[in-house]
């Protein structure tokens, strides 16, 4: 069965919860053991003191380690990405920082793509160096050979441990080739030390791009976005193979940044409509992009559907290879600068002026001064994140109403 058919039932047994058709919120910090022997056995498995026996499952211990809402949610999330295991977190940043801390040690080299979401950018460039991590950076459009050369020039190629990419990049929709990034990881891997590839797949959600299928070792989500999808929860997720996820989950246990039972329950509810919501958002985004493409006050539109073999053969090829749709995110430059962009943002009525993305309601924001305020201004200029850019997250409203709202807001530029 397809994941969308399983989102209402997979992994939940009503007979264990008084027949409730929906998984209740297991609002409990701890779980009663049937016997001391059982408690001992659960801890042996949880702390890796011995391997699991044939058919033995990790018993419920304590909600920082496991909880039914989180376990069912994690099992359901694995279906979309066809991952072996998943860990959910109390925010996307919690998922991202836990992975970075687990797979990097002092003295290591981290290779990243640019641009990145502002929060990830801050943690990687401003916090990780305090722990002795060196950062090597590549940009959209650089070839595999250029990137290998760049890593070698750091003089620390033998300490490369992790490659971290975000594709499509927030807010420009620039694409990084996941398969080529894996080849770089393999190039620097040694028999005793594998270089892992991590992909922030937030912009495409679990429906529109499956990085694990293209060679990624770990996929990360701000589940606040499409997965949650209603602007009412902050959460994160990481998916990958069982051995890597065991490492991620162990660090999560000790950092204590797992999602709460209530967050887990909210996400279970959201997952039931993930496919229909995202289908509607991709459809609406296409219509909005078509409108923006021909509007006289719009200078440039950053939308995956605008890529063609003629105007950008490299990006178009990556789009065809790894993205299943054109997504639900559009950025555009207005003719003018901050003044004109702010005029448009302030005039929007249906579309809310707020950061975040992937929700049922359409949102608009100004990356230069908001989500990416903290990013180095030179980098921002280089990646076309300028004062004239507006980022739109397209929701599930009737598309003509979204377009009408943008139209009346763009009209205010001339007033």
Q: Environment class of residue 370 by beta-carbon count within 10 Å: exposed (0-12), middle (13-18) or buried (19+)?
A: middle
Question: C-beta of 171: minimal distance to ligand PLP in Å?
Answer: 9
Instruction: Report the C-alpha gap between 326 and 149 in whole angstroms.
Output: 32
Residue (of 127, 121, 128) closest to 170 by Cα position: 121
Question: C-beta of 222: minimal distance to ligand PLP in Å?
Answer: 3
Residue (of 293, 311, 300, 302) closest to 393 by Cα position: 302
Nearest to ligand PLP of 212, 235 (CB atom): 235
- Identify the H or E element spanning 111: strand 109-114
Q: Helix, strand or coil for residue 355?
A: coil
- 322 sits near ligand PLP (criterion: CB under 6 A): no
- 358 sits near ligand PLP (criterion: CB under 6 A): no
- 202 sits near ligand PLP (criterion: CB under 6 A): yes
- 231 sits near ligand PLP (criterion: CB under 6 A): no
- 236 sits near ligand PLP (criterion: CB under 6 A): yes
> Mask: binding to ligand PLP, 80-119, rule CB under 6 A, as x and -?
-----------xxx-----------------------x-x
- Give the start-end residues of each E strand in 149-191: 160-166
Question: C-beta of 197: minimal distance to ligand PLP in Å?
Answer: 16
Number of residues engaging ligand PLP in binding (CB under 6 A)? 16
Q: Which residues, in sequence order, are bridge partners of residue 301?
A: 332
> HEC states along 373-404?
CCCCHHHHHHCCCCCCEEEEECCCCCHHHHHH
Q: What are phi and psi of 60, to 5 degrees?
A: -75, 130
- 170 sits near ligand PLP (criterion: CB under 6 A): yes
Nearest to ligand PLP of 119, 305 (CB atom): 119
Question: C-beta of 224: minimal distance to ligand PLP in Å?
Answer: 4
Question: C-beta of 135: minimal distance to ligand PLP in Å?
Answer: 17
Nearest to ligand PLP of 60, 233 (CB atom): 233
Nearest to ligand PLP of 177, 365 (CB atom): 365
> Measuring CA to CA, how many Å separate 9 from each of 4, 6, 23, 70, 88?
10, 6, 9, 14, 19
- Cβ-proximal residue to ligand PLP, closest one: 92
Q: Which residues bind to ligand PLP, rule: CB under 6 A?
A: 91-93, 117, 119-120, 166, 170, 200, 202-203, 222, 224, 234, 236, 356
């Amino acid at each position: 069965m397809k994941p969308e058919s399983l989102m209402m039932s997979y992994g939940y047994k009503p007979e264990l919860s008084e027949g409730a058709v929906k998984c209740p919120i297991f609002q409990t910090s701890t779980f009663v053991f049937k016997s001391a022997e059982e408690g001992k056995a659960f801890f042996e498995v949880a702390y890796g003191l011995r391997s699991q026996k044939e058919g033995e499952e990790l018993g419920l211990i304590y909600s920082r380690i496991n909880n039914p809402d989180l376990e069912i949610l994690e099992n359901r999330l694995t279906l979309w990405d066809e991952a072996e295991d998943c860990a959910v977190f109390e925010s996307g940043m919690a998922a991202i920082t836990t992975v970075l801390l687990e797979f990097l040690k002092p003295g290591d080299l981290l290779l990243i793509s640019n641009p990145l979401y502002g929060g990830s950018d801050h943690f990687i460039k401003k916090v990780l160096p305090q722990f002795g991590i060196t950062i090597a950076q590549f940009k959209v459009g650089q070839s595999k050979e250029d990137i290998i050369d760049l890593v070698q020039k750091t003089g620390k190629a033998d300490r490369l441990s992790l490659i971290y990419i975000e594709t499509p990049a927030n807010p420009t929709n620039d694409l990084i080739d996941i398969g080529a990034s894996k080849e770089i990881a393999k190039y620097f891997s040694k028999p005793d030390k594998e270089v892992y590839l991590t992909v922030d797949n937030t912009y495409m959600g679990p429906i529109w791009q499956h990085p694990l299928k293209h060679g990624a070792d770990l996929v990360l989500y701000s589940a606040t976005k499409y997965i949650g999808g209603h602007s009412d929860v902050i959460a994160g997720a990481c998916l990958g193979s069982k051995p890597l996820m065991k490492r991620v989950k162990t660090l999560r246990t000790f950092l204590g940044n797992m999602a709460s039972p209530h967050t887990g329950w909210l996400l279970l509810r959201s997952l039931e409509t993930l496919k229909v919501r995202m289908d509607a958002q991709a459809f609406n985004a296409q219509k909005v992009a078509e409108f923006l493409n021909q509007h006289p006050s719009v200078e440039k539109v950053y939308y995956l559907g605008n890529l063609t073999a003629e105007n950008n053969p490299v990006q178009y090829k990556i789009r065809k290879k790894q993205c299943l749709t054109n997504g639900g995110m559009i950025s555009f430059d207005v003719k003018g600068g901050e003044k004109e962009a702010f005029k448009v943002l302030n005039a929007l009525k249906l579309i809310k002026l707020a950061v975040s993305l992937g929700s049922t309601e359409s949102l608009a924001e100004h990356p230069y001064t908001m989500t990416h305020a903290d990013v180095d201004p030179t980098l921002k200029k280089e990646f076309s994140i300028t004062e004239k850019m507006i980022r739109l997250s397209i929701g599930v409203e009737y598309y003509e109403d979204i377009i009408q709202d943008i139209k009346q807001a763009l009209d205010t530029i001339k007033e």
